[in-house]
Amino acid sequence: MIGGVFVRLLKHHTMRTFVSVLAAAVLAALASTASAQAYIGGVIGASDMDIDCRGASRCDQGDVALKVYFGLPIANRVIPTLALEAGYIDFGEGQAANAVASRKVSVSALTFAAAARVKFSPVLSGVGRLGLAYVDAKATGNVGPFLVNGGSDTQLTPYLGFGLEYALNRQLKVTGEVDFTSFDTGNESGSVHQIGVGLQYQF
């Protein structure tokens, strides 16, 4: 048991260290290209998470999702439209319940990705994102009047995203986006994604 706790603490510390180094590298890259036009964005949408609903008479695998992100173009000859992005996604909660018990799973993630854009017209572009997500997942519940800790964990997982961007003017865009990753509470794991609409502002 002590060994398991030690391994868990070591894993958590290693993940936090990796994310700190990755974040520092992203910030350094962003700082080195400070002359590029940075952009920020916000998205509101709906999430869907693959929670276990076996034995549940009521199951809600979706919630309101919120996403914010910051990006900076990285000039290069191979992919002229390449950018680095860092973001945060709150996928909300999934819930399952029956007559005697209920359970909630909440998921959020920090994302670090490379984003590449393709112009379809002067005002319409497509974007693809590929990177890593530092996902925090927590399960809580109750059996009758008793609270139950369903487990919690953080992990580094692949992150994938796609979107469309419509330019209203030179600085403001309307976006439609979908983001995919996965979660693990320690006792339960699955995929999670969000689809939503938002605004993006380029400085």
Inter-residue contact 73 to 85 (CB < 8 Å): no
According to DSSP, the residues that pair with 195 across neighbouring strands are: 46, 178
- Report how far residue 151's alpha carbon sits from residue 155's, in angstroms, rounded to the nearest whole number: 13
130 with 137: CB under 8 angstroms?
A: no
**pLDDT of 34-44, one tens digit each?**
446 899 999 99
Which of 197, 190, 180 lies closest to 61 in space, CA to CA? 190
Q: Which domains does the chain have, with CATH numbers?
A: 2-202 (2.40.160.20)
pLDDT in tens, 87-142: 999 999 988 888 777 888 999 999 999 999 999 999 999 999 999 999 999 988 77
Structure tokens at 66: 């919120």
Using left for φ > 0, alpha for ψ between -120 and 50, and beta otherwise, residue 55 falls in: left
